[in-house]
């Protein structure tokens, strides 16, 4: 008996199951962003007992990735990393968006909610090209486009020259190798997540403070999407959330953003958090710092510290915190 035509042609053949994903997570396309999105996916799959295909990663090009030739602080535009992913969320093309929280504005569109903060990685900056800040050669060129890193370096080493350097982590390391700068500073968290663990010397937080939210990955979703919020909340890490919320409350109260020369540190003290912050003038000549002890979720303590810092700050500092909310 001849085989039915449909079998000969392969119709009705069992195909591999292409289950519709339970979640579509948007991410930027840089190697670091993809590594962070992969981490979010594996944590979600582990928490819910899903296999990998349950979470689809959707790469989206951000405006900040299209501009490669100028320091971002100079462009001054906000939402360089978030605008496109916000739109994709708004249009329902993705269910969640994975971000380096450090790059996420303190004031977000009201339709969005940060549904998960992943366990925070190493918060420190890493110095590449010298063994310590003291060991940086006299007059060296320090490659950084981050006002916080530039000001903090000039405060410690007024003899160095700051040169702008941009691009993703690998690009910046290769620019250093190509001689565009003598030393540079990178987030330990980014290096760690890229598997670049042998690079540079981590700077201890007693001599060098990181940026607000450094090392934290956040997943945002639509505030009115309770199902996704619920799925994402399974991987929310309470202690990390408490720390970054305090740091972001301070930054918001300062009227700062990710281009402001503000350095912070949160340390757990039992049930409370010690929040330390330092503000700098652009040339690093002026500095003011302070510490406050807060409870998780308290925005009033960080706000009080911000007001106290601004009250004690010199003009070269306050001019940088002119209420860019
Ligand atoms: N501004 C770019 C950026 N945003 C997040 C990270 C690294 C990861 C993190 O800090 O959480 C980096 C690179 C860097 O600062 O070296």
- 262-269: strand order across its sheet: 262-269, 272-280, 287-294
pTM flag (> 0.80): yes
Catalytic residue among 95, 103, 225, 298: 103
What is the DSSP secondary-structure string of 134-157? TTSPTT-EEE---HHHHHHHHHH-
pLDDT tens digits, one per residue of 84-135: 999 999 999 999 999 999 999 999 999 999 999 999 999 999 999 999 999 9
| Structural domains for the chain | 20-118+216-236 (3.40.190.10), 125-202 (3.40.190.10), 238-319 (3.30.160.40)
Residue 5 Cα to ligand 1 midpoint, Å, equals 58
Dist. CA 85–CA 82, nearest whole Å: 5
pLDDT in tens, 9-35: 555 445 445 568 899 999 999 999 999
The reply to whether ligand 1 has any atom less than 6 angstroms from the CB of 187 is yes
Q: What is the pLDDT of residue 65?
A: 76
pLDDT, position 18: 57
Which amino acid residue places its CA nearest to atom 9 of ligand 1?
215
Q: What is the pLDDT of residue 15?
A: 47
Residue nearest to atom 2 of ligand 1 (CA): 103
Q: Distance between CA 184 and CA 200 in Å, rounded?
A: 9
Note the ipTM here.
0.94
- 324 catalytic residue (yes or no): no
């Amino acid at each position: 008996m001849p085989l039915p035509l449909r079998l000969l042609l392969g119709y009705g053949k069992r195909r591999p199951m292409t289950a519709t994903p339970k979640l579509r997570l948007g991410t930027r396309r840089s190697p670091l962003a993809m590594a962070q999105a992969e981490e979010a996916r594996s944590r979600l799959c582990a928490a819910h007992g899903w296999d990998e295909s349950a979470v689809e990663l959707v790469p989206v090009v951000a405006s900040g990735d299209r501009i490669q030739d100028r320091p971002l602080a100079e462009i001054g535009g906000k939402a360089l990393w978030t605008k496109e992913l916000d739109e994709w969320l708004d249009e329902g093309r993705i269910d969640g968006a994975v971000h380096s929280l450090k790059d996420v504005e303190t004031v977000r569109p009201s339709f969005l909610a940060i549904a998960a903060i992943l366990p925070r990685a190493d918060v420190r900056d890493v110095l590449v090209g010298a063994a310590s800040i003291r060991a940086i050669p006299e007059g060296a060129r320090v490659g950084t486009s981050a006002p916080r890193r530039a000001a903090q370096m000039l405060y410690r080493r007024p003899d160095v020259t700051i040169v702008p350097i941009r691009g993703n982590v690998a690009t910046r390391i290769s620019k250093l190798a190509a001689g565009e700068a003598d030393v540079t500073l990178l987030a330990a968290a980014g290096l760690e997540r890229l598997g670049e663990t042998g690079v540079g010397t981590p700077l201890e937080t007693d001599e060098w403070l990181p940026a607000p939210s450094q090392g934290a990955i956040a997943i945002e979703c639509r505030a009115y999407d309770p199902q996704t919020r619920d799925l994402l909340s399974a991987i929310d890490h309470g202690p990390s959330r408490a720390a970054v919320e305090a740091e972001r409350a301070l930054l918001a109260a300062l009227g700062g953003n990710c281009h402001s020369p503000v350095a912070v540190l949160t340390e757990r003290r039992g049930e409370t958090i010690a929040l330390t912050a330092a503000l700098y003038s652009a040339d690093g000549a002026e500095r003011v710092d302070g510490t406050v002890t807060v409870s998780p979720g308290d925005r009033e303590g960080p706000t009080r510290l911000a007001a106290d810092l601004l009250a004690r700050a010199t003009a070269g500092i306050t001019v940088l915190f002119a209420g860019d909310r």
